[in-house]
Amino acid sequence: MDPVRGLRGNRLVPGLFECGLILCWGTVHLSTIAVSGIVGESALLPCVNSTLGKHANDEIRVYWQRGDQCIRAFYSGKEHTCQNYSHRAYLFTKGFKSGNFSLLLSDLRVSDNAEYACIIQIKQPTEYNVVLFVSVTLQVAAHYVEPVLTMEPEQKDQVGGELVRVNCSSWGGYPKPIIYWTPESSLSQNQTVENHVHCSGEELCNITSILWIQATSNFATCSIYNPKLQENKTATLSWNSSRNDTILAISNTHHRWIIPIALVTLIIAVSLAVYLSMKFRTLLNEQRCCVQDGQVTSKFSY
């Protein structure tokens, strides 16, 4: 951002141009910084110069703006909020003594992708001159969810082979991702994959990718790569093209017999417990002891 062009915008706060454009500029430190942030989280936009920390707060003016729009300001010894950013933008006023004029922007949105300007004026000695200009480019990104894969029934292609349609879906990410499949197989050499990416305006992106692949491949892997975050999300779907129906039938039969077998096992266990209990009581009754001539005798001999 051209600092002169930035200061030629609308008068955002009182006194910013009261000294005239040329007189307002003294010895200015210029810098450009790039910052990354995640949607829903916070990002720190740095604006630091330790040589400016010796000034009292009432001698400092701090302006953060986006184009001609005010983000946050500090002047006349007080912090001033700006419309649309009153609950999302914060200055570290206690850090002014160390030359830290950074801005904390919270609850990031896709619409926050922009260039921001930090402009610092110092009173020298009776008028305020611009001594620091920092241009910060904020690049906002969002994580995509893990891909969800589904498979549709097989179809015959023109040459008689079996084709499987595999759908890959993901959402909630930004910016537009790079989508790729492993392995790649297609209806024709010209169209392997159909990608549908919807990123409307300031919203997060939703993606759907369709792969036509030979059924004999038995698996497909879909990868969603976020170039801004350098993050890759991957999911794999596998199948058995020759025994699909058989495996399903065996699985169904197996589950059908689980409940009857469990009931029979429970009945046998209860019956056995009852039988053993009755047998134990009978043995106790038969072991009656009788006292004869001061001797204790049992009906059982050992």
Residue 256 has pLDDT above 90, yes or no: no
Q: What pLDDT sits at residue 208?
A: 95
Output Rg (C-alpha) for the chain, integer angstroms.
38
The whole-number average pLDDT for the span 17-39 is: 69
- Alpha-helical segments (H) within 79-132: none
The whole-number average pLDDT for the span 238-244 is: 68
Q: Which residue has the higher pLDDT, 251 or 129?
A: 129
The whole-number average pLDDT for the span 271-292 is: 65
Q: Which residue has the higher pLDDT, 80 or 217?
A: 80
The pLDDT tens digits for 128-164 are 889 999 999 999 999 999 999 998 876 655 555 678 8
Q: How many CA atoms lie within 13 A of 188 on its CB side?
A: 4
Closest Cα to residue 28, out of 140, 98, 171, 130? Answer: 130
Q: What pLDDT sits at residue 5?
A: 41
Q: What pLDDT sits at residue 40?
A: 94
Q: What pLDDT sits at residue 228?
A: 93
Q: What pLDDT sits at residue 12?
A: 47
Residue 36 has pLDDT above 80, yes or no: yes
The pLDDT tens digits for 184-232 are 654 444 347 788 999 876 789 999 999 988 878 888 999 999 999 999 9
Q: What pLDDT sits at residue 215?
A: 79
Tokens representing 167 are 């759908």
Q: What pLDDT sits at residue 261?
A: 59
Angle (CA) 129 131 134, round 5°: 130
Q: What pLDDT sits at residue 285?
A: 66
Residues 6+ apart with CB under 8 A from 181: 168, 192, 193, 209, 211, 213, 220, 221, 222, 223
Q: Which residue has the higher pLDDT, 289 or 124?
A: 124
The whole-number average pLDDT for the span 168-197 is: 79
Q: What pLDDT sits at residue 127?
A: 86
Q: How far is CA 134 from CA 5, 52, 95, 300, in A?
A: 14, 14, 17, 105
Strand partners, 219: 238
The whole-number average pLDDT for the span 224-243 is: 87
The whole-number average pLDDT for the span 157-173 is: 80
Q: Which helix (H) or strand (E) holds 213?
A: strand 205-214
Q: Which residue has the higher pLDDT, 14 or 52?
A: 52
User: Which range has highest mean pLDDT (47-61, 238-252, 275-289)?
Assistant: 47-61
Q: Chain-wide mean pLDDT for the chain? A: 77
Length of the chain in terms of residues written: 302
Q: Which residue has the higher pLDDT, 194 or 105?
A: 105
Closest Cα to residue 129, out of 180, 59, 46? Answer: 59
